[in-house]
Amino acid sequence: MSYFKRFVISLVLSVPLIIQMVGMAFSWMMPAYNWIALITTTIIMALSALPFWQSAWAAFKNHHANMDTLVAIGTAVAYFYSIYAMATGRAVYFETAALVTVFVLLGQVFEERMRNNASSAVEKLLQLQAKEAEVWRDGHYQLVPVAQVQVGDLVRVKPGQKVPLDGLITEGVSSVDESMVTGESMPVTKKVGDRVVGATLNKTGTFTFRVEKIGQDTMLAQIVELVKKAQTSHAPIQRLTDKIADIFVPIVLIIALLTYLVWYVFLGASGVDAMLYAVAVVVIACPCALGLATPTAIMVGTGRAAKLGVLIKDATVLEAIDGVQTVVFDKTGTITEGQPVVTDVVGQKDLLRVAASLEAASEHPLAAAILTAAKQADLTLSPVTDFQVVAGQGVKAKLANKEALLGNEQLTKAYELSPRLQATLTKLKQAAKTVVIVVYDGQVLGLIGIQDRPKADAKQAMAALVKRGLKPVMLTGDNEVVAQAIADEVGIKEVIAGVLPDQKAATIEHLQAAGKVAFVGDGINDAPALSTATVGITMGSGTDIALEAGGIVLTNNQLMGVVNAFDISQKTFKRIKLNLFWALIYNVIGIPLAAGLFSGLGLTLSPEFAGLAMALSSISVVGSSLLLNKVKIGA
């Protein structure tokens, strides 16, 4: 039974007790009230308050005390005393036991509602997944339930349809809305060789893809599992809270006993009044707000992060990231796109067409960059003959029965560059770009500059980190000239270049001697550094090994995701500390008030209102945590 149902039952059953409390102000007594109160309160104690009794008993058997111990003891004292009072003709206090239960359950309802809200955004992703898929079987496409699709099946996706599962496009071009996975609102162009993710939305063209992952192996399912794990994990500060509660409860019980003895023995109060003071102490001291301070902030914070494309895999990250001073970035595939692209075409009009025609038969990464540029320019390629790869230099072939060359200076050394092209060559090399020279029919057509470009948001991300007092550093195995050129372009001042993969972790350890270090990477060779760093942040496009090593995964592959990760982690941890502060202050103020220390000033607190105050404190902590959904992140 949910806490909400228990709350409703206890509230309805408490109505006669509330009516009688109001009636007493007018000297009105409900007929057979004691029996009505006994029956309704007994049902409340046996049904609605059952979780508190079970939790308190489990803690007692393990020689511990928890927040439910206080609720159980406080309500039990009021309930059993009222039975005794009823049997001996004294005034009963069933309403105390009933209403304390009502108010404690109210706090639990808010906590339960908050838990559901925190994870509902992620859970809805699974509900949005396609239910059917068009699969190629028996010589034609047929509609089958997604559960029947197997790895290796060919699936067709038409405009407006959802991508049913994860896979690799084998035919067609389209724009896909991946916002539900990456948080990025702009559609992404997808072509042959690109991967698609289940539950994303196909916007324009029709394409076919080969299924690579199904069921719990899909990215969407893994995202949900990671978020669930993070929301239920315990940060070190949460363990501190548990220890505080373990010590706090026995202290409260001692204070309650002393309160009873002082009022009854030394101040001459009646046994009933002394008991009510003691019960009020027990009830108001129930550290529900203390217990809610950490988990509520973790659930809201990790849920907010997931919406931004930031998966926080474990709550320990929230505390670890606090105080990080240095953020170290891998270069290729992290700061850069990881794919070389044509950046400069300098020469005659036919230069790019001739180059692409030569590279059409090549498998070199630079060939892919030139062919992509030609396709974007909508150029028609010409067939070549006598194609030959010159190792370490380039390619040569015949185009329209005329010799054509494409390669570096060594391959084309027999051909003289014009002063303009020579100056351009020098300039491109200084910018750390790879330059290919194209020769056709004995004439130099021009130069093509190729480079692995920084990601579009790289410069913005580095500036945002510096603004937050963090120092970005580039760590790469590439040569210093290339690394420095990229660093200068994106605004990184410190570069550590020429580092072999097995040396990256040692470099991180060295940097950590001066303070906490976060490492951002994506490849297999980054896994040791990701594990060594105080916080490992992995690009979502990275390898499975790297994804496992990182404590944070950026599903949108954007560097501003690093900024978002820092913002949401640090603000969540600050919210936890703020919640703990107010929860403790509440108890510091509430216990003396409940014990009657200010009764001479007319300030007293009955057990019922102590229960209400405790519920309100829990609600305030939940509300404080929910404010994480409103804080400014990024930019």
Which residues have a catalytic role annotated?
330
Q: Are 523 and 542 in contact (CB under 8 A)?
A: yes
* Residues ≥6 apart with Cβ < 8 Å to 25: none
Specify the DSSP element, H or E, that contains 548: helix 544-549
What's the CA gap between 175 and 165, in Å, rounded?
A: 16
Calculate the alpha carbon distances from 40 to 43, 49, 88, 90, 402 in Å: 5, 12, 20, 19, 101
Q: Are 166 and 190 in contact (CB under 8 A)?
A: no
What's the CA gap between 436 and 149, in Å, rounded?
A: 46
What's the CA gap between 242 and 153, in Å, rounded?
A: 50
Phi, psi dihedral angles at 287 (to 5 degrees): -80, 45
Cβ-based neighbour number of residue 604 at 10 Å: 18
* Among 117, 116, 115, 199, residue whose Cα is nearest residue 157: 199
586 burial via Cβ count (<10 Å: 0-12, 13-18, 19+) = buried
Cβ-based neighbour number of residue 256 at 10 Å: 26
What's the CA gap between 401 and 381, in Å, rounded?
A: 15
Q: Are 327 and 470 in contact (CB under 8 A)?
A: yes
Query: DSSP 3-state helix, strand, coil percentages of the chain (rounded to 5)?
Result: 55, 20, 25
What's the CA gap between 562 and 542, in Å, rounded?
A: 15
What's the CA gap between 121 and 128, in Å, rounded?
A: 11
Sequence letter at residue 296: T
User: What letter would DSSP give residue 264?
Assistant: I
Strands (E), 297-442: 310-312, 326-330, 336-347, 384-390, 394-399, 402-407, 434-440
Specify the DSSP element, H or E, that contains 451: strand 443-454
Calculate the alpha carbon distances from 42 to 36, 414, 529, 605 in Å: 10, 101, 60, 24
- For residue 184 the two structure tokens come to 């990025």
Cβ-based neighbour number of residue 633 at 10 Å: 18
Q: Are 451 and 483 in contact (CB under 8 A)?
A: no
What's the CA gap between 490 and 331, in Å, rounded?
A: 11
* Among 551, 550, 531, residue whose Cα is nearest residue 542: 550
* Residues ≥6 apart with Cβ < 8 Å to 261: 274
What's the CA gap between 200 and 305, in Å, rounded?
A: 19
* Among 204, 195, 212, 221, residue whose Cα is nearest residue 154: 212
What's the CA gap between 351 and 348, in Å, rounded?
A: 5
